Structure 1
C-alpha cells in the first residue's frame, strides 16, 4: 500500500513538472512563434487544447489578456482557435467574409491594441475563398444580390487585387493569387489606419503578420511582409 502511495506521489510530481515545462515554453516564445507552433501541433495531430476548460472560464471571467489579434474570414472551416491550437482568452478575433475591413472592424482592432495592450496582429486568408471567388465571378458578369454586393465591391476596390486581376493571363491560379493579394491589402490597410494603428506601428509598438490557411491540409503558409 505504501509503495503504491509513493508511486502515485511521484507520478503527480512528474505531471506537474511536464505542465510547468509547457507553460515555461509558451512564456519563452514570441507571439508569432506561439501561433506558428500551435498550427504545427494542429496539423501533426498533437493539439494540446490548452485553456479550454471550465477552470479557464473562471480564470478569465473578470478580465481578458489575449496575446494576438486574428483577422480572418468568416468561413466555418477556418476556426482560428482550433487551427492555432489556442484557448479561451488567448486570441482576439475579428472575422468577416473575405477579411473585408471597414470602420467597425478597424475599431475592434484598435480596441484590442489600445485597451487590451495586444502587440501582435495576424491576418489569415484561406485557399478557395468563396468571397474572392464570388468577386472574380462578378467580374465576369455574374451579379451578386443584397448586402453581399458590398463585400464584393470592397474586394474589387483593393489595389492589390486589381493588380492580380490585371496579371490574370500570367497567373497559374488567379483565385489563390487574389487571396494572397487580399491578405496583403488588409495588412497595409491596418498598418496605415489613422490615428491609432499607424502611430503604434511607427513607434514599433505593434507588429503584423499574414498567412494563408490551406483548406486541404490545415497548414498555414506564412507570407513575408
Structure 2
C-alpha cells in the first residue's frame, strides 16, 4: 500500500524472543513467487517512518511465507507475498535494525542506472528498427527517409537516445568511483533514459504504422515492455523530486 511513499511501508515485524515475526502482505515483488530468497523491508519500530525500517534476507521456504504470481501487461516475473508470522532472526538482518531504509536507498542508487541501461537498450532497438524501415519503405515516390517530417523525427530519436546513453554511463561510472552526487546522477539517468525510451518506442511505432501493432512484431513487444520502467525503482515523479532536493540541498549560499 505504500507505493512511492516507501517510508510508509506497513509490513509488521513484531519482537519475538531474540528475533521478529513478520506479518502482512507485499505486492509487486520482483521474481515472486519463484525466488529462493527475498530481500524484505519491514517495520520494526512503529510510527518512525524511515528510521524504523529493517531489511531482512528471508528464504522462500520459511514457514508462513506464501506467494502468488501477478499477470502483468508485459510478462515480467512479478508477484505478491503473504507473511503469516514468518520468523526472522538477527542473522537474517541486512545492515542493522532500524537502518534498512538506508540499505534500500543505497541499492536504488545502483539499480537506477541499470534500469536506465535496460530502457536505453529498448530505445536503441527501436531506433535501429526505424532507421532500417524508413530507409527501405517507399511511399510518395521514394523512401520514407526522404520525407523531412520523417527524417527529423528519426534525428530527434537518435539525439535523445545518445543523451540518455551518456547520462546512464556517467551515473554508473560515478557510482563505481564513489564520486559525490550519486543519488542525483542516478535519478537523472533513470528518469531521462526511461522517458526517452517511451518517446522513442512510441515514435517508432508511429513511423512503422499498423505493422508495428501486429502481435509478434519487435515494436509490439517493446511497446508493452517500455511502460513499466517509468514506474518501478522509483516513478519518474519521484526521480524529479530527488533531483530537485539534491540541487537545493547542495546549492551555494548567496551573500
Same fold (TM over 0.5): no
Larger relative contact order (C-alpha < 8 A, sep ≥ 6)? 1
Structure-1-length-normalised TM-score:
0.28
Structure-2-length-normalised TM-score:
0.26
Greater fraction of residues in strand: 2
